Structure 1
């Protein structure tokens, strides 16, 4: 039995979408359902100047967000929207792009972008426990997914991924392995590899490739790095960023399009069918990644369409999961 295998353009102009908050299923358009978590907020602020990119939520109703500005990690209560910085960053040269919390809610695995760093932080103390420098000049460590045996990280500028082994109780190993991407993988001149997830059957990894076929998904064998294009019909993901898999439903954040494309995958992750598109012109301000709790999806607004300043406002918005 195979073991289960449990973003991002930083610059670019925005193509705005008109209308109200919409869920667009195949064959029609309907307004998205309202709050399904009682009085819990569907939108909450982050600190001014924070510059969020990644989000992760564990078994408890708390969101963790990383800062591009200085590498801080902010924790917010989903029940109240209030929060605070739990881990101080190392400064502008050490951002946090993607991040994931482990199931025991003890460790945070952090992608360091252009710093080429992979970091592991203690959730309670906020202290960095381990730091690894990977890749070579031009490397951009972007997103991360946790599986039973490893943490996997994407490199947006290089055709490769990184594997940090995890012990029996989830403790990180002492060495990161580089896995070259081959097969159908097509490396572009700019951001190419982005979000990462697992296939529904746990047999492989799914990666966004913003170049191949006009933008699509790749199914990657984690043992060999061989990538094969996933058949997703006419759907294109040129702005594909964060991935979120719930069962066989895959949410793909298309940040510059201010939209989330929703696909239904087969078990092996070789094919996918578009079932909905989520848009919210009033609240989406270039969302980048997604995390789930209860029956909601939470997305940070990165606001890549504005020049960031210490006073720029940022927030997180919630939408209902697609039920189909």
Structure 2
């Protein structure tokens, strides 16, 4: 059975064996005392995506304003980095540190953006699909998340059975995009929010995607679009995912992050631990940094668009 770890506001952790009465208290490493618990995104009107930068740096987006914040996980600070043009969104994002670029999914605009990590200037803009009506109307397209691989950036669309691919040349320049039709279970668009988080294994040779409505993970062949279910994994309301070797962290809008242990062939997996926190409020995405998860509170429980007065990144043990 998976274990459940709950983090309180003072970063004390407990491990609860699901369905069993026994409770075991774990010890927080001494260094954790200096960690910030919450990093506020100053002035943000919404939030969703996060990307790891160099060192302790992270980037997080203002979902419906399109702005991007740059912060420091150790210092516990963040500031506005990119004041996006009106009409842009900032959903999932990933940083290409080799070439100093940030790739950002544009949500209901049907777009994606590439920003220079040094200047914040727009390097490229893509129109993958026609834009959706403004929320809370139903989405017709929702470019939701992105992962950068050595060959290029892959974007999901939560309303379409496709992936969008932006190639990256040897100099790091993004090229014209192409659309990859999906086959198999990842092509299911019966739900309101379908494909969502995405990450890559085997240096981009296999993609792993999360399906929010089905609560499942799938592998995708980036050459053919063929997909297969990762058997044995149930992660209801899954949003963003973070993959590291054989471990995958699935952020769920139900105020939890499930750690999944994957088989070497990626054909199956199991939930081995569930991380919760009284600081979570509809978490959407996360990155992993030195034994911690930096988790973005999207606060969709306040509405779409959300109406909270503050948006933040919550730091918990992974």
In the alignment, which residue of structure 1 is the partner of 2:124? Answer: 130
Q: Give the match for residue 64 of structure 1.
A: 59
163-172 or 296-305, larger mean C-alpha shift: 163-172
Deviation at 1:309, TM superposition (A): 7.2
What are the superposed Cα offsets for residues 126-152 of structure 1, whole Å, 9 maximum, x if unpaired?
Answer: 111110100245221100001111100
Deviation at 1:50, TM superposition (A): 3.0
Preserved contact between residue 49 and residue 310 of structure 1 (Cα < 8 Å): no
Distance 2:116 2:24 in 1: 43
Give, in angstroms, the shift of residue 197 of structure 1. Answer: 1.0
Structure 1 unaligned residues grouped into runs of 5+: 1-16
1:198 is aligned to 200
Deviation at 1:25, TM superposition (A): 5.6
Q: Offset of 1:44 from its aligned partner?
A: 1.6
Deviations 1:45-83 (A, max 9, x none): 112443110001123101100111311100111122222
Alpha-carbon distance in structure 2 between the residues aligned to 1:302 and 1:141: 16
Deviation (angstroms), 1:189: 3.7
**Partner of residue 180, structure 1:** 181
Query: Contact between 2:260 and 2:273, CA under 8 Å: does it hold in 1?
Result: yes
Q: Does 1:264 align with 2:255?
A: no
Q: Which of residues 271, 274, 287 in structure 2 aligns to 1:274?
A: 271
Cα offset for 1:183?
1.8
Which whole-Å CA distance do the structure 1 matches of 2:169 and 2:97 have between them?
14
The answer to whether the Cα contact below 8 Å between 2:302 and 2:308 also exists between their aligned partners in 1 is no
TM-score (norm 2): 0.86
Tell me which of the two structures has the higher relative contact order, counting C-alpha pairs closer than 8 angstroms and 6 or more residues apart: 1
* CA-CA distance at 1:42 after TM superposition: 2.4
Cα distance per residue 1:263-293 (max 9 Å; x no partner): 111222111121100011x211111101122
Within 5 A, what are the aligned runs for 1:86-97? 86-91=81-86, 93-97=87-91
**Which string of whole-angstrom CA distances, capped at 9 and with x for unpartnered residues, describes residues 215-258 of structure 1?**
20111110010111111x2x422300000011211000011x10
Q: Output the aligned Cα RMSD.
A: 2.4
Q: Structure 2 vs 1, CA of residues 271 and 48 (structure 1 numbering), >3 Å: closer, same or farther?
A: same
Q: Is the 8 A contact 2:255 2:283 kept in 1?
A: yes
Map of 1:219 onto structure 2: 219
Q: Is the 8 A contact 2:111 2:129 kept in 1?
A: no
- Residue-by-residue CA offset, 1:178-233 (whole Å, 9 max, x unaligned): 0011122322241100000123675311111234xx420111110010111111x2
Q: Which runs of 5 or more structure 2 residues have no equivalent in the other structure?
A: 132-139
CA distance in 2, matches of 1:239, 1:270: 21
Matches within 5 A, 1:1-324: 20=8, 22-24=14-16, 30-31=24-25, 33-34=27-28, 36-37=31-32, 39-91=34-86, 93-104=87-98, 106-136=100-130, 138-173=140-175, 175-185=176-186, 186-199=188-201, 202-211=204-213, 214-231=214-231, 233=232, 235-255=233-253, 257-280=254-277, 282-307=278-303, 312-321=309-318
Instruction: Provide closer, same or farther for how the CA distance between residues 221 and 82 of structure 1 changes in structure 2, counting only shifts above 3 A.
Output: same
Give the Cα–Cα distance (whole angstroms) in 2 for the partners of residues 24 and 197 of structure 1.
Answer: 29
**In structure 1, C-alpha distance between the alignment counterparts of 2:49 and 2:230, rounded to whole Å:** 24
Q: Which moved more, 1:220-229 or 1:201-210?
A: 201-210
